[in-house]
Amino acid sequence: MHNGADGSKREFTTSMEGIPMNPTAESTDNVRSESARPIRVFVVDCHPIVRLGLRTLLEKQQDMQIVGEADGGREALDLIRDLQPDVVLLDLNSPAQDNQPLLQQLRQVHYTGRIIIFTASEDKNEWVKAMKMGCSGIVVKQTHPELIVKSIRKVHEGEIWLDSHTTAAVMRQFSSPRDAAAASLPPEQRERSPLSNREREIVALVAQGYKNKEMAEKMFISEQTVKNHLHNIFDKLGVSDRLELALYAIHKGLHLPVEK
């Protein structure tokens, strides 16, 4: 175990186009202030070469700091509880030990940071289980390094990070056959929604992967108006984030274009 909280080298690199919850994400330069508090990251992986690679990658980022690392298990739990990093990169399954109980244990010790599952597994049930247990993203180990960096930034900002592959898998698993059947019904037979037509239109765009700025441009309204609509939608539907909203939309058939 290495603790890198004291003195990390940081150098900014521009992130490539990535997918924070959906297939359409912006490709912009995230210029950070030198004085901004770095995102404190903890890595849990049983392979020393993986931990070294992640440390090398993240220490080059101006806005990130590796505060610790561990193989997993009790050592990881104790260190995360004590260090309270902003983001944990967690490999659930490794040859050395099963880290799946760590997700639940972290919540029991009231860890309030974000958790990204960093995995080589293609087990979609594992992804869904992790999302239901409160992780903020799934990153497969084949992911381009710059997208790993971007995923950390996005979940730290409060977003859910899923690429197009994992998004489809998670949504299919969350959707029951009954939900799929409901979504295929004609509009007049679907469950009545408490949303206005404008709010329905925004929900459909969220489910299709549009970001706030893109929705504002498409609908000829301000980005702040989009945010206001989303606030009202979250309140009406009882959802807490864009992933839950997208899943709700799929379940209820609200992802389909609004008839005008």
Q: Tell me which of 163 and 74 has the higher pLDDT.
A: 74
* Helical ranges in 191-238 per DSSP H: 197-207, 212-219, 223-237
CA distance 65 to 206: 32
Closest among 125, 117, 111, 55 to 90, alpha carbons compared: 117
Model confidence over 43-79: pLDDT tens digits? 999 899 999 999 999 999 999 999 999 988 888 999 9
CA distance 237 to 159: 18
pTM of the model: 0.58
**What separation in angstroms does the CA of 73 have from each of 7, 93, 255?**
26, 11, 40
Residues contacting residue 46 through CB under 8 Å, at least 6 positions apart:
71, 72, 91, 94, 95, 96, 97
Task: Give me the pLDDT at residue 61, please.
Answer: 94
Residue-range domains of the chain with CATH: 39-171 (3.40.50.2300), 176-252 (3.40.50.2300)
| Tokens coding 18 | 């990535």
pLDDT at 10 over 50: no
> Is residue 8 a contact partner of residue 14, using CB atoms and an 8 Å limit?
no
pLDDT at 85 over 90: yes
Please compute the mean of the pLDDT values over residues 110-134 and round it to a whole number: 82
Please compute the mean of the pLDDT values over residues 80-108 and round it to a whole number: 83
**pLDDT-based confidence at residue 92 (cuts at 50, 70, 90):** confident
